[in-house]
Structure 1
């Protein structure tokens, strides 16, 4: 087993147990086809197997998403029960933390669910996919959730960049241009906003938002480090070293492969440590000794 010099924290991980997969529609075509997830993993990955892989990759903790993927009434959508993620966190509190998925169509009921997830389940942040609702990040329907995140003092993750084609019969517009975060950051200067998925193909636009706003950050998940734009690697290694956090979007990216590809980028030691660990601890207010 390789000995990694930094114990990383993965900020974007999908719950992938067989029980969870039973409620996810069309996973084989997208994850097995476009994302190249192995046939074995398409059957599910237990908590214990996930922890074994995390250990092999030098990953100390993962943030598990209780994802809400589209309005629940749509046949291609699904909502991960908060309780399912909470159960994993309760079993392994030193290895997992929970993120509450958001569905803009749920209105204030969804806001109350978010509050319950943080106060009762101990979740440490929120997470959502704008394109699944075809509502840009600066749409008014997201604003009550932003306000609640500020009130609860928790960060929000949201996908920026293009949408993916999950189902040829259910095409989604790419509403997640990073520039849409400009209005959100102006309206909610206390809200910690993390644009995940690198912002591809508008990575430079995402960098511009993180450079402009003290409360905007970037998540590196879902795109292999060896394919990251050169400008993004330079940003991490220089003036953006305090603004980027590590993630895989497992099983989209395998833990160990992603760690190895980051090692191959030849980042300076201090920016590399900030990327893999220090920044996410600061942004989420986590105790590194906990």
Structure 2
């Protein structure tokens, strides 16, 4: 994926995990009930839901680039998604700082596969975000395999939410969201069955951190992003592996706007990360994975 408008050398960092939470016409990516639960969980009540143009200005000011996506969980929630085309077109207006990913509900079957192809080929989408708990599917369900096959063939990335989620937290029954679907061991099956598919396990994977580390060490195409948590709360084994066996496979992600890169980076500065590893996590690993650089 060459021809990027992003000047990697001029960047301080690449944030691989940010959310488009609101569309141009004011439609939210989540229902008010689930969004309220997420805001409470992250102690982010009242946080603004920036437009993609505002996100571009925010990251440009900080000399960072950002991957942007939304989640499509229409099958399980009945809540209409934000248009992937809108996200991609908005990112295309800011190609110096924004990188479009998309969200496709795997329950959409052949229609989802066709959409994935169209989004990559016509809109320049670089990857796809899955949230198994919200979408109500197990990552290793053969139902989703035609979509993974297309993503692998297209050379795009599959990013899976792993671990507990703040969405639905505290709502009766957790809003019907089942945490078991976000066990990274389920993604291990995907990595085994699609050896060419580049995968990101999103977040410190509480309560399955050791499982996520094992999968990332064992499967060559599996990476881990560090979004959704302040670095001061990272489990010690995650820091240890990021400093050693996984130094080329761990990626900076914030979960903006619920966690800002400012807060994340301030806490990351205090973490015991080797000087030679720090730039890998903040930028170099992501630049290579996203095809922004050849080294």
2:110 aligned partner: 108
**SS of residue in 2 equivalent to 1:120:** helix
2:282 aligned partner: 276
1:60 lines up with 2:67 in the alignment: no
- Residue 137 of structure 1: how far off its partner (Å): 1.1
1:35 lines up with 2:42 in the alignment: yes
CA contact (8 A) 1:12 1:63 kept: yes
Aligned pair count reads 280
TM-score, length of structure 1 as denominator length? 0.89
1:71 lines up with 2:78 in the alignment: no
CA contact (8 A) 2:106 2:112 kept: yes
Distance 1:280 1:130, change over 3 A: same
Distance 1:81 1:103, change over 3 A: same
Distance 1:147 1:268, change over 3 A: same
Distance 1:288 1:96, change over 3 A: farther
- Residue 109 of structure 1: how far off its partner (Å): 0.3
Please, which runs of 5 or more residues in structure 2 have no aligned partner? 1-9
Separation of aligned partners in 1, 2:68 and 2:254: 11
Distance 1:264 1:188, change over 3 A: same
Distance 1:51 1:98, change over 3 A: closer
Q: Which among 210, 216, 224 is matched to residue 222 of structure 2?
A: 216
Task: Give the superposed CA RMSD.
Answer: 2.2
CA contact (8 A) 2:89 2:123 kept: no
TM-score, length of structure 2 as denominator length? 0.87
Separation of aligned partners in 2, 1:146 and 1:255: 30
Distance 1:121 1:243, change over 3 A: same
- Residue 151 of structure 1: how far off its partner (Å): 0.8
Separation of aligned partners in 2, 1:232 and 1:154: 26
- Residue 283 of structure 1: how far off its partner (Å): 1.4
1:172 aligned partner: 177
